[in-house]
Amino acid sequence: GAAMVRMQLPYLITCIIIFCVGISEEQCNCFECKNVTEGPHQGTYYYMGNKGTCLYRDPLTRKIIRACDKEGTIIGASYRYELCTDVTGPKVCIDPPEASAYGYLNRTWDGSKEIQISKVSYYCEPPKLVANYNGSAVYDIWCSAANFPKWQFTTGDNNLPFCI
């Protein structure tokens, strides 16, 4: 009994790992709009256009979820939804703050505003310091779900801490 369970456990773990690794983003079914009709994420969400990752945002609650049909049925819970076409909203972050307006010498940015990918680095030329920060001359912000469509680590209405 017990010996057999121990021998099967590594086999089971290996099968789970192989099964999970085999799941790719290409298996997601992304649609322009999903109305989730049951479960903890009920609401109407629009597709954020993230190249196969199936990120959706509810414009009323601002909640962002990943709704990949096959992933939900294989690994996690699955919930019923209906396709819709009448819900829209921002798919990228708003423009990041200008460096000079907050006392920074410059910013490094490739111009992208994609959620979970884009980053902007601001340079605060010594001896000036970023207010209430860790002493680094570089202050980074990210386009993320945390404050979407504003940039993560900005304050208020997409502001930066001052370089003084």
pLDDT digits (tens, 9 = 90+) for 130-150: 999 999 999 999 998 888 999
Instruction: Quickly list DSSP for 88-135.
Output: ---SSPPPPPPSGGGT-SEEE--S---TTT-EEEEE--TT--BTTS-S
**Which pLDDT value is given to residue 54?**
85
Note the pLDDT of residue 38: 87
> pTM for this one?
0.66
Q: What is the tens place of the pLDDT at every residue in 61-84?
A: 989 888 876 544 444 567 788 888
CA 88 to chain centre: 18
Higher pLDDT, 142 or 16: 142
